[in-house]
Structure 1
Amino acid sequence: MAKAKAAAPSGGGKAKAKKKWSKGKVKDKAQHNVVLDKTTYDRIFKEVPTFRFISQSILIERLKINGSLARVAIRHLAKEGQIKKIVHHSKQLIYTRVTGGGAAATE
């Protein structure tokens, strides 16, 4: 009986910590600008109107800016008439560049 008690804890599974199968992937924290500086401001007005597909995600990725800055930049460019709206969804705004001469191209 003493042998059975002594053998039980050493072979037990609950006393040992469970094995972790994955270490888990750790994504690096992005260091995006939260304040608009002069160089980023100039890039927005020079490059963004030439993009074929413009969304908040695209601006965040390419210009390394914060999401709120991307939304403000898109609204400002749309107000100026430099980009035009394709889809206005509650979660995702999709715009495109303004192409000159839509009626002239058909002639």
Structure 2
Amino acid sequence: MHFTGIIITVITFLIIGVFHPIVIKTEYYFGTKPWWVFLVLGIICMIASVVVDNVILSTILGILGATHLWTIKELFEQEERVAKGWYPKNEKRTSNNTNK
């Protein structure tokens, strides 16, 4: 029996589940300023996925890289959700206008 598909599915599900609160907490505490961190990590994971020989690890790194890149989009959308009042705004953050 081959468990590769099941392993990748479970780990993908876990990665997505972990990144959901990461987006919320990042926007709450830092705004959208650290978007570039997700860009760098995404690129690193994508490059690593091409270099690694193991199929499962390569796939996981590719998924992790894509998730980091997708997080950039979600971070800016989270800012919009906060502006609409769907999520709490961090009043203690020094700059709530995070796009500048």
TM-score by length of 1: 0.33
The structure with the greater share of residues assigned to strand is 1
The structure with the greater share of residues assigned to helix is 2
TM-score by length of 2: 0.35
Larger Rg: 1
